[in-house]
Structures are given as C-alpha cells and as structure tokens.
Amino acid sequence: MRTFHDFDLVEEAVQDAFASAAATWPSGGVPPSPHAWIVTAAKRSAIDRLRRAATSRRHASCLEPLLAAAPGDSLLDDELRLILLYAHPSLSTEQQIALTLRFVGGLTVLEIARLFRARPATISQRLARAKTKIREATITMRLPEPDHWADRIDAALAVVYGIYNEGYLPTTGALVRSELTREGIRLARRLLKLAPQHNEARGLVALLLLIDARFAARVDGDGSLIPLPQQDRTRWDRQLITEGQGLLRQCLRHHRPGPYQLQAAIKRCTPTQRPTLTRIGRRFFAFTTTC
C-alpha cells in the first residue's frame, strides 16, 4: 500500500478498514482479494480523514505518496520498497526494525516485543519516539537511488527474519502462521536478487529454506510439535534442502561468515552434529560482535 507522511494517520486508516471489513464481510461475503480490499479501504479512509482535517492545499504534501518511482525500482514490490524506506539512516537500527515490523509486517506490539525480548511498553515507547523523531526532525522519508539501497540491506534482512520467525513460532494463536513464513521467504529471495553480492542476504535465504524444508514433519496429527530427532525425514522437502545447501556453500567460501550464514550451517547439520557446531557458532558470533 502507498503510505502517507503521518504514521498515526496510516494506523488509524488501517483500523478503519478492518472495522469496515468486520461489519460488511459477514453479510456480503469475503471479497476475492481480501488484501486488496483492505488496502483500498484504508487508502480511502486516509484520504477522507485528510479532507476532513483541512483544505487540500494544507495537506498536499501528505497526499503525495512516499514511494515515488525511482530508477530501477522494477526490482521492488510495495512491501520491499516500504522495508527499505523505513530503514532510514537517521533512525537507530532498533527503531528501523520496530517501525517496519509494525507498519509493513503488520505485527502487533506484543509480537515485536517477543522478537526483541523486550517488554511491550518498551516497544511502544520505541515506536512513539521514532515517529516523533521523524515528525520533529522533518526527516524526508523517501527511497534513495538504487546505488544506496545496499546501505539499508542489513536492517531489511533483520525485518524479514522477524516476519518469518513470527510465522514459524507465533506469539499467540495458531501453532504456525504460514502466510508469514511464505512472505518471509519471498521477501528474502527478493532482497538477495536486489543485492546478489551480499552474503548475509544469501545466508538468510539459505537459513529460511533449510528451516522451511522440515515444515511438513514438524507437527503430528494432534497438532503437537515433533522434536527434530524424531521427525520423519521422508517428509522433508529435498528440493528446498538442496537449494539451501547450494546457497550456503556459496556463502562459506568467503571469510568471516555472518550470523545468518552460521545459523544456516547449524541447520544444515544432522542432530548428532549440531551440539559441536552450535558451540563453535556461538563462540564465533561472540568473537565477531566484539571485534
């Protein structure tokens, strides 16, 4: 969805759209494309709020989409463009990730707090401070030229990993949220296509594929989780495993692999190999983060 300069306006418009869906869908039926319906309703709500607030001149800057087309943006879809947009260098990494998970990933404050291992109140304050900083410092939230996209890739990878993790092990509700895991893999692939020389992007795709390959064997008929050593390996997706292993081999040819590459290497191992490699990975990660 194209968004506006006012974060509060966007949040309220989305809430209006979901309220409208709750009121009309039970009687009129779910539309063929629920996502597109919500996006359209939210956009109309945002425009209506702006029109009621003041004259069109006063709000002309708000009505202009943030995501103006940039050279080479055929590589991007709306979600990926928004992820790169919110990875603004004037914001801290924690603020970038929290904002993107909230307004692009659609995660709740509680879900984001679990990913950060923080209290929900802390995340709420972080989001509020980020929005205040953008507003008071008049930060121009526009997508940079393609030559500068690489500067935002690291924050984008963290966001995509957070989206996938919330789908793989949700904070509340269902045992698995497959729509989030699928979206996480799709966005990770798009980021790798955007930055093909970025080894951590390649490592993240490898990691998510190796995790996802075991999905079918992860839950039994009663809906209970099956520990890895007890899983039926014939149900693992060999195509995803082969692809993930191939990407991982490309990564590990390079010096000083990053955290995503190390996690992918651990996932690639059999359960009997894992304890040793896990200890090695933890020591390496501790070393690289203190150098």
- SS3 letters across 58-73: CCHHHHCCCCCCCCCH
Average confidence (pLDDT) over 150-166? 89
- Going by C-alpha positions, the residue among 40, 57, 59, 39 that lies closest to residue 49 is 59
Cα–Cα distance for residue pair 215/205, rounded to 1 Å = 16
Cα–Cα distance for residue pair 244/190, rounded to 1 Å = 15
Cα–Cα distance for residue pair 207/161, rounded to 1 Å = 10
Average confidence (pLDDT) over 169-192? 85
- Tens of pLDDT along 85-143? 888 888 888 888 898 888 878 888 888 998 888 999 999 999 999 888 888 767 666 77
Q: Above 80 in pLDDT, residue 216?
A: yes
pLDDT given at position 255:
65
pTM: 0.66
Residue pair 184/100 in contact by the 8 Å Cβ criterion: no
pLDDT given at position 145:
76
Q: Above 50 in pLDDT, residue 59?
A: no
pLDDT given at position 136:
77
Report the chain's mean pLDDT, rounded to a whole number: 77
Cα–Cα distance for residue pair 113/277, rounded to 1 Å = 29
pLDDT given at position 140:
67
Q: Above 50 in pLDDT, residue 287?
A: no
Q: Above 90 in pLDDT, residue 207?
A: yes
